[in-house]
Amino acid sequence: MAQNGNFYPGAPSPGFGPPPGGPQPAERRPRFGAGTILIPLLFMLIHISLQTTAQMVVLVLLRPELNSGAPGAIEQSLMQWFSDNSTLWLGASSVAAIGAYSLGLFLLRRRGRPYVLLERPRLRESLAAVCAMLGCMGFATLYMVIVNLLSRHSDFMAGQLERYAELAGSLTADHLGLQILVICVLVPAAEELLFRGILCGELMRVAREPLVILISALVFSVFHWNLIQSGYVFAAGLVLGAVYVWTRSLPLVIVLHGIYNFMGSSLHQIVGENTLAWTVIHALQMVLVPIGLFSLVLLWLWHRDRQHERGGQKWQEA
């Protein structure tokens, strides 16, 4: 893999390969090391720390009036205040995270690690990726229908659904513009730098592509700390990971993540309780599920063809 004139182990140097017809050197994948786990884990801890710090800063700046009384009542009042103002502290923590991750990725790149992939995707790849993400939104809708059905027969699922509803309600801001900025721009940028840029960046050095996609999606879903949300987030993580690995474009997956969050949050404020509009939207989402799956197959086929064009080099960076 070339970077600034240097070549990573295993990448063939131009002009110094074996003679035509001679044996081709086997690609040597870097070995799994402690950094493969510790580097992503460090940045995930930074992510949690930034969110906690942002909560405290917003708390100090706004100074809410909490209900006096027993410690339990004060704690409940404080948690409700954090929930009501989640858009503010999420936005603040996302801005800080974007700066921290960008600096971290810059330093890791200087060490010669094949991180952030910034290739410009072809138009057909971008369109297929958008279709795949919209199809994933359709899957999320179908998933929530099943969850609602299960909650009618299971107290456990009913409790989980209630917690999920509280979480979803906390991400609704009074100002639609602020919600779109935070949920559809800042949060996707921060999370994609972390999960696709840093996590996938480490995994792609030591693991094969299917394993990279699977592990990154699993970590992405678990990191959301909600049983119901983790189900459809896992599917979204699979699509985002596949698009990133197959198109090598971090900006593209940030845009896809933003579209997904818009469809799942901001669109509800725009459409409101319009039953007819939701019927049409949900019908379109169901139609897009098979189209999204077909789009993923196309992306994989195009990726495989491009690998052949590159001569099988998997570590070449944009």
Model pLDDT, residue 14: 42
**Could you read off the pLDDT of 150-200 as tens digits, one per residue?**
888 888 888 888 888 877 776 666 688 888 999 999 999 999 999 999 999
| 123-151 helix and 155-170 helix, angle to the nearest 10 degrees | 130
**Could you read off the pLDDT of 53-77 as tens digits, one per residue?**
988 888 888 777 666 566 666 667 7
Name the pLDDT band for 30 (thresholds 50, 70, 90). low
Averaged pLDDT score across all residues of the chain: 82
Model pLDDT, residue 84: 74
More confident residue, 223 or 311: 223
Q: Is it the case that residue 3 has pLDDT exceeding 70?
A: no
- Identify which of 98, 105, 103 has the alpha carbon closest to the alpha carbon of residue 50: 98
Mean pLDDT, rounded, for 100-112: 80
**Could you read off the pLDDT of 215-240 as tens digits, one per residue?**
999 999 998 878 888 889 999 999 99
In whole angstroms, give the CA distance from residue 293 to residue 298: 9
Name the pLDDT band for 36 (thresholds 50, 70, 90). confident
What's the Cα-to-Cα distance from 265 to each of 62, 74, 173, 187, 237, rounded to whole Å?
25, 30, 10, 13, 17
In total, the chain counts a number of residues equal to 318
Q: Is it the case that residue 144 has pLDDT exceeding 50?
A: yes
Cβ neighbours, 10 Å, residue 153: 8
